[in-house]
Amino acid sequence: MSWTAKPSGSEYDYKFSYTFKGCTGTTFTKFNKIRIMDKYLQSGKAFSLLGECESVGYNPHTGGGEFWSWIHIGGDKATSHSGILLNISALDGIAPKDFVENGLLNCVIELEMLHHAKSTLTDLTTYMPGRCNDYLTFSTDGTGSKPTKRAFLSDNGGGGISGDYKSVIGVGDDTFTWWADTGGNLIINYYYSGVSGEQWASVAVHGKFSPRIYYP
């Protein structure tokens, strides 16, 4: 169906101009939002750039990132207690491309940790955020502390406590071990070397991970 003009003189006349408007105009002001988005993307991306790597390596152009966790973990002394620090299938934020498939596999992972341990779960709970002793997770006097830092390569995951691809922090009788499982989740294990009763730890973690770096 095409439109043609037939001369007969009616309300639509070629001597005049007419304006047709189907909806509220889409102004440049609105389209300029796209440029603002570009700036967001540029600045946001700056946190996850891939550095130069050897040409023999294969480096998917995924982003790295950071995360923060605050957990309590423990139970019977002289027993290893494991938990998840980063669950790649249950994230609230935006993950790098393909993150739910690969997670933290083949990443360089840096961890900063502060913790406080108590012998009962009830006491330990007061060291979690918003409770009366929350600040003591970070220092004994409420003035902050230097976090313990470690870095490791996650490889294909599954390192476990005895594997090569893990980080270990020993503080007194408390030992914490991190590794990525084969699904790419970040696992934490807590072990207290006492002989009876219970021991619980409030653990605050700031972690960073690189884009995936591995050989093809």
> Which residues inside 114-173 make contact with other proteins, applying CB under 8 A?
114, 125, 128-131, 134-139, 141-147
Residues 10-29 interacting with other proteins (rule: CB under 8 A): 10-14, 22-24, 26
Residues 196-215 interacting with other proteins (rule: CB under 8 A): 204-207
Q: Of 53-61, 91-99, 150-158, 166-174, which part binds other proteins (CB under 8 A)?
A: 91-99
Residues 56-85 interacting with other proteins (rule: CB under 8 A): 63-72, 83-85
Among 17, 19, 28, 40, binds other proteins (CB under 8 A): 40
Query: Is the alpha carbon torsion for 127, 130, 131, 136 positive or negative?
Result: positive
Of 14 and 54, which CB lies nearer to other proteins in the complex structure?
14
105 touches other proteins (CB under 8 A): no
Of 16 and 215, which CB lies nearer to other proteins in the complex structure?
16
165-203 CB burial, b ≥16 within 10 A, e <16: bbbebeeeebbbbbbbbebbbbbbbbbbeeeeebbbbbb
Among 17, 28, 51, 92, binds other proteins (CB under 8 A): 92
Of 84 and 161, which CB lies nearer to other proteins in the complex structure?
84
Inter-residue contact 184 to 98 (CB < 8 Å): no
Rounded CA-CA distance 148/167 in Å is 11
Nearest to 212 by CA among 63, 91, 110: 63
